[in-house]
Amino acid sequence: MAEDAILIQPVPFSESPEAAKTAKELNMAAGATVAISIMALLLAALWGSSIANGINPAEAPENLPGDQVYFAWDEPEYMPRHEECIDTENGQDPGYEGYGIGYEPSLSIDKQGNLFVTAHKDLAWGGEGAPVYPIAGGEAGLWYACSDGDSTSWDYWASWFWISNDGGKTWGHGDNFEPTPGSMLSSLVGSVTGSGSECLGDEGDIAVDANDVVYFLDTTLEDNWWHMFEDGGNTYISPTVCERMQTMAADDRPWVAAQGDGIIHYLGNSGASPPECTGDTGRYWYYHSETGRAPYSQCYAMPGGWSTISSQNDGPYVFVAQEDADTNTGVVQVRVSPDYGRGTGPGPSDGTWEAPVAVGPREGNCPEGYPVVNNNEGGMVVVAWADCPNGNTGAWELRIAVSYDNGTAWSSWNATAFDRGIQMYPFVSISEDQVVSVAFYGLDYGQNNSEDGYVAGKDWYLYAGALHHPMEGDVWDFRIVDPTPLHTVTDYEESSGDTHALHDFFETVMSPDGSWVGIAYQENIGLHPFEENEEQRYIKFVRGDISLQHSVVNADTEAGMSMPFFSADELILADRYLN
């Protein structure tokens, strides 16, 4: 809907001063009419629904259930390497030598807004050989970190641990995570009395309890190391370095949540029953501690497929979302403990975990498609998962389940962003005022008006959207967050149907005051020097501040404009509300 333009012809200089004055007055009147008309149009669009619902216009529309929430995105940042470990001859593309190589980033935040990121190390960049070559293949050889003459992208032996104390504007490494040059053998010797960065790790996860104590779990596959920090990651407080979890559980992807004063929830993906747990079976195992460290309760199986865990920070609730089984179809289910997950050790016992509740269908078997659960302190719980009923390269779906009563009652619906394409690894974050942000790796088959499917040359992007207090059937207005493609489909990927270039997941957070969202994610750049059909993988962070899309910019700030200025987004939104 638009106003017809009103054009007043300019007055030639040959006309009389009186005629010129009259024309000028007509111009001013017409300009004022246009300005008032546009202002009235926009205010009607923005206030109409509020007045109809008896709500103060000052509260509309951001605070209405189901309303879109938009963000103003900053320039994305790459995670840094230590300066002394940068090597222009190590195979990284020119211009990227100063950035850390990794994938599958985890992101956490404390109550002060300090940010923490870890990421899976690229083991192929640790040396030309592999210490476990009989199992992993290749040739025998040691791994190296920050070592002259060795083409490594590792600054230290632990998995990456980056911190930001200014809301994501700048990034560095946590306390006790300085460079640790040398071979794997020197790391094993140094880790006995050395720094936290010398504890050999593969991939990890991070959680923060109610006292802002940061827990960094780093898996060695055979067990896990724990690192503890306070003061926004600037003070290492573990009683000893390389503190073992002491579970003897072989582990792939670890998940950790924290709440209260040192209450830790660890969900381990063992893939098989740990040797000490002969009385129970399962793929995922739950471990519990209330001291922030070992010992942990043992041997509580949570049977099902891919799973994740979250907990309230101050309250008592803990949530696990999982596929009900390692099958092609089935349901996504949620397990709830209303009492900090207590009562599950030392032997097999349900403790305070209630029976799992199905929250939505699975109609396909997406590659490593974790159902992700998150919650706030007010009883809101949200689960997001990708579904692929049409196969790996067919049209995917994005599903959402929401509870407003700590997981007792649920609503679930299809929130697919585009009809043809892939919405992979959706991650959800929630503010205390019920703004739900969902982000995913997206490949829109219809990009550039294309009518084909999963073919070489198409670009993957990071997408995100947010709603206030979403209810069943609400639609997220997903937008591209980073204009740089994260990956471009290759000929090999097209021919093999490989959709795994961006790996298994990434994570987001909402700020403590709910005013901004942060995303840690992966971008592929250049060819990998040691792996065929692979690329170099880099970790990025981007922050988006909630944007007052419906506000009117003061005319005085717009280069002398004589009428209110509206951005393109504001005009589009106004039209959207009118229709």
**Greatest distance between any 2 Cα atoms in the chain:** 103
Please say if the pLDDT value at position 34 is more than 70. Answer: no
Please say if the pLDDT value at position 132 is more than 80. Answer: no
Mean pLDDT in residue range 441-448: 96
CA distance 453 to 451: 7
- The alpha helices in 320-476, defined as continuous H runs, are none
Average pLDDT, the chain: 83
Assess contact for 393 and 414: CB atoms under 8 A.
Answer: no
Query: Residue 284's pLDDT is what?
Result: 87
Assess contact for 375 and 309: CB atoms under 8 A.
Answer: no
For residue 102, with 0-12 CB atoms within 10 Å meaning exposed, 13-18 middle and 19 or more buried, which class applies?
A: buried
| Dihedral over alpha carbons 475, 546, 506, 111 (to 10 degrees) | -130
List pLDDT tens digits, range 549-567: 522 123 333 333 222 323 3
Model pTM score: 0.84
Nearest to 173 by CA among 97, 254, 119: 119
Nearest to 147 by CA among 126, 173, 168: 126
CA distance 491 to 488: 10
Q: With residue 569 as reference, give the H or E element that holds it.
A: helix 568-578
86, 200, 529 from 90: Cα distances, Å: 9, 21, 9
SS3 content of the chain, % helix, strand, coil (to 5): 15, 35, 55
Query: Residue 31's pLDDT is what?
Result: 44
List pLDDT tens digits, range 3-26: 333 232 333 333 344 444 444 444
Structure tokens at 107: 């992101």
Query: Residue 7's pLDDT is what?
Result: 31
Non-local (6+) Cβ contacts of 498 within 8 A are 492, 533
178 by DSSP, 3-state: which?
Answer: coil
Where do the domains of the chain lie, and which CATH numbers do they carry? 17-62+552-578 (no CATH), 68-546 (2.130.10.10)
> Cβ–Cβ contacts within 10 Å for residue 20, how many?
14
